[in-house]
Amino acid sequence: QVQLVESGGGSVQTGGSLKLSCAASAYGYSQYISTICMAWFRQAPGEEREGVATIDSYGNTNYADSVKGRFTISKDNAKKTVYLQMNSLKPEDTAMYYCAADDPCHRWPPRKSQFGSWGQGTQVTVSS
């Protein structure tokens, strides 16, 4: 099991940037955070939760088409933290953003049912 704590959300204008952080602690089944598949999801009001980006134990990444070229997922194993750098933000990016953990990573797109551990979410709001 993995405990996840998100931070870094906020309100910005169109074209602005934010960097989200997800601090992860692995216990029991998953002994090392480096072996865990990590993902960012987002959910806007009235919409389904959708996968934004994933990063596997080797550092390989995948992105939703809507964020490619603007968002970057990365991790620091020593700090047990996963990041989502968001640039050139658009109003369509407004949503609650969630960090999730799974083992192993699956093919794109990620499904919320595949992830056994979730953070509480952090709100991102982009104004026109």
Q: What is the pLDDT of residues 44-95, one digit of tens each?
A: 999 999 999 999 988 999 999 999 999 999 999 888 899 999 999 999 999 9
Range scoring the smallest mean pLDDT among 11-15, 40-44, 74-78: 74-78
Average pLDDT, whole number, for the chain? 92
The pLDDT score that the predictor gives to residue 32 is 58
Question: DSSP of the chain, one letter per residue?
Answer: -EEEEEE--EEEETT--EEEEEEEEE-TT---GGGSEEEEEEE-TTS--EEEEEE-TT--EEE-TTTTTTEEEEEETTTTEEEEEE-S--GGG-EEEEEEEESS--SSSP-GGG--EE---EEEEEE-
> In the predicted model, what is the mean pLDDT of residues 23-28?
75
> In the predicted model, what is the mean pLDDT of residues 13-32?
82
The pLDDT score that the predictor gives to residue 38 is 93
Residue 4 confidence class, pLDDT cut points 50, 70, 90: very high
Contact indicator for 97, 52 with CB cutoff of 8 Å: yes
Contact indicator for 49, 42 with CB cutoff of 8 Å: yes
> In the predicted model, what is the mean pLDDT of residues 28-38?
66
> In the predicted model, what is the mean pLDDT of residues 98-117?
91
Task: Give percent above pLDDT 70 in the chain.
Answer: 92
Sign of the Cα pseudo-torsion (92, 5, 52, 59, in order): positive
Query: In this model, does residue 29 exceed pLDDT 60?
Result: no
Question: To 10 degrees, the CA torsion angle through 36, 42, 48, 52?
Answer: -60
